[in-house]
A and B are shown apart, each in its own frame.
Chain A
């Protein structure tokens, strides 16, 4: 059911592509010379290749990324498009697979002739696709929160202007954990690179606060039963730090509660463990009183900004972060704002660069690289951001919420400075 609007979307995209293509050919053959071509070009839509996790392990995220993207594009088009041209999304499923991801990028660049590509969440797909983006000289805007872009391992064509990376998130969390919850931390994370990033960055950050990680438990992927690993949690643990992904997250959280029963330490988790999951699901009662990192507060807060309100309405999300049509259908609220904000960055970049077509791709990247502070606004409803043009990474505010009466209530908002770290790369020195 949910994929219906998407398929319509794709089909329309393809039809439009075909129509535009034949239109362009007709125009050039009827009116030889540059003028006809330029005419066709200038009114033709700007095509954004949207790499979406429609199937595979990332499908729950992909659905909401798609919804947010549609809403953001609608808003941009309602406001007159980009440089007077309408924006068109060409969505392709990458199956949450790095091989298919790279293939899809090729399809954007050489078949659909998209202007840019964007939208990837899962880091392995970003890694698999980014080399092709560099080779195809296709600007590739990812919405992944991975540290890949800022680590310098990718290339000048890959940017992450819409969402903070994990290193920054984790670093910003540590002071709150150490000062409010406890200094002896046991970490539970998936045995994936993403989990290792949490382990490494958080260990360093908590030590800087005078705390320590007393045990790090890496859970093998696709594990579906967790209780047997919990005895590894040392008795002295003051805080449990959990961050899990995939379909088994609910089991994980539930079994954690069953393990501890009434006598649990403080629990701090990344909301990744419960994205797209209703916090009132049966078995999650024990989460009451525990803390979560949130990229963007799922429940509308008392001091909700007008921007968040407008954003929620545009995407079709209620005050509990669930779909307006179905209160059970909880969004991936902490991540999907990245699509919205990234698209607005792209729009701004294209307008600054006076982007006309693929020939201006380098100019677009330079325009984005030149960006810095982005204030809280309808374009950036999650909060203010500071973009680092050298590392291609944006830095924003993070939220720590406490589960109170089944709702996530923000207890603490970090500053942008909390999450800053030294540059690891300067992409602007690389040639195009």
Chain B
């Protein structure tokens, strides 16, 4: 595999009882860039991402991470290779403090080095703007803050690839704006795969866009290319002319 691609798939397919959710997906994610994965509801985005990080077993096809075939690896092993993942539906440790939430994410890599973990936690909490809430219980946070916390947990892992599944869903406009800033501040630091509905976010953050429709890749390219792509407009952007 090409060294400039951190992650790629070949012929990745998932069928549920004869119904194809993903068909023969050949996909490549360039290292260090932000890529957005878009597509109408039911296009198979979550299935695809699920197969990337190992939550869903592929029916056929291969997933490569940094040139290594990771088909046989269970989810937690893939994560340990440097993939961080945030859920479509917020998933934090609701009964634990913010500090502990992030520490759990950091600790997997940093182990029992308390100082390093604490430093990391302070760093990422500051970065997402939750520092002053470190001792609060995660379940008590507002929805928007919980999403930020989840991103902080992703960051605390120092991921080489950060997969965010619809991170701005349900956020207020002001929160979305700071989210965009956050993602852009990460550019170059890590590779980001963003599953996103909000085209504004996509356009302001993504270097590349892949469009999924009916479980197949419809188009891939820069935002400009995608914007100009007629097939995409027909299938997906159709009515929303501009963002």
Direct A–B touching, Cβ under 8 Å: no
Where the two chains meet, the residues of A that have a C-beta atom closer than 8 Å to any C-beta of B are: none
Q: Which residues of B contact A (CB under 8 A)?
A: none
